[in-house]
Amino acid sequence: MALGHEAVGTVVEAGPQARTVKVGDVVMVSSVAGCGACPGCATRDPVMCFSGLRIFGAGALGGAQADLLAVPAADFQVLNIPDGITTEQALLLTDNLATGWAAAQRADVSPGDRVAVIGLGAVGLCALRSAVIQGAATVFAVDRVAGRLDRAANWGATPVTSPAAEAILAATGGRGADSVIDAVGTDASMADALSAVRPGGTVSVVGVHDLQPFPLPALSCLMRSITLRMTTAPVQRTWPELIPLLASGRLDVDGIFTTTLPLDDAPKGYAIAGSRSGEDVKILLTP
């Protein structure tokens, strides 16, 4: 099976039901697919599809790390890349930026808030910048990799080595962050997030958990009135908000792609990603 769920490309063939794209169009493809015809998909959120969401590169759908990709329900899944949007920006719009944006929205970020982002990979860095655009006054950027902490600090965040709860509580006079975004999704990161958030605050989890039971501290969450949300990105629904912000320059995602390789060198790209170095964040593969 070909892997990959983030893709931009040129349309080489269009089925008879495709109305919004034609051969030769340069498009981006939502990483999360829906049927495109049900009331759930009418919300522009593929997660709400009555038939259940599907993800490219997993299960029945082919992967994007290939020369050709078949896209069902193209009118729903695909968007012509608008003028002023770069290839790198379009790729981030297919998943990482949409996920980071939704993570900040679901974290109830308000102007002046203190927000913590746990995990400074591509999604975490997108969430960091999204939180700032949505009004965060202070962003605690949490990771174990020094280079990634430095990168976040260069973008105006306050770097904190994980686990971060103790440092965040100290920096906020014992109160905690108004919102915490967990872009890792391990037991350790989720426990850290729940410990670092203030009473009445919100924890927004977009990191993918390992499917093992998580020991939720339910009594503590109840007594502190914590809101916990877990989100798969409503990719298509974010596009009308994010595209103008990117095109205007108000939202900057430069520096998230750090390496470009030909598709034939994908194993090298996976090794780079697996090293979790401070110099490398996200790899772009070019068929």
| Residue-by-residue pLDDT tens, the chain, 287 positions | 889 999 999 999 999 999 999 999 999 999 999 999 999 999 999 999 999 999 999 878 999 999 999 999 999 999 999 999 999 999 999 999 999 999 999 999 999 999 999 999 999 999 999 999 999 999 999 999 999 999 999 999 999 999 999 999 999 999 999 999 999 999 999 999 999 999 999 999 999 998 889 999 999 999 999 999 999 989 999 999 999 999 999 999 998 999 999 999 999 999 998 888 888 899 999 98
Here the CATH number for the domain that contains residue 91 is 3.90.180.10
In a domain, 248, yes or no: no
Residue-number span of the structural domain to which 61 is assigned: 7-95
Q: Indicate if 23 and 45 belong to the same structural domain.
A: yes
pTM for this prediction: 0.95
Instruction: Indicate if 50 and 145 belong to the same structural domain.
Output: no
Closest to 95 (Cα-Cα) out of 142, 179, 35, 29 = 29
Query: Do the beta carbons of residue 94 and residue 235 sit within 8 Å?
Result: yes
Among residues 76, 95, 114, which one ends one of the domains?
A: 95
Tell me whether residue 43 is in a domain: yes
8 A C-beta contact, residue 49 and residue 38: yes
Domain final residue pick, 65, 95, 125: 95
State how far the Cα of 131 lies from the Cα of 152, in Å rounded to an integer: 13
Is 18 a domain residue? Answer: yes
pLDDT at 60: 82
- Distance from C-alpha of 272 to C-alpha of 232, rounded to nearest angstrom: 26
Instruction: Identify the helix (H) or strand (E) that includes residue 103.
Output: helix 96-106
Domain boundary among 60, 95, 130: 95
> CATH number for the domain including 224?
3.40.50.720
- Domain contains 243: no
Q: Does one domain contain both 128 and 224?
A: yes
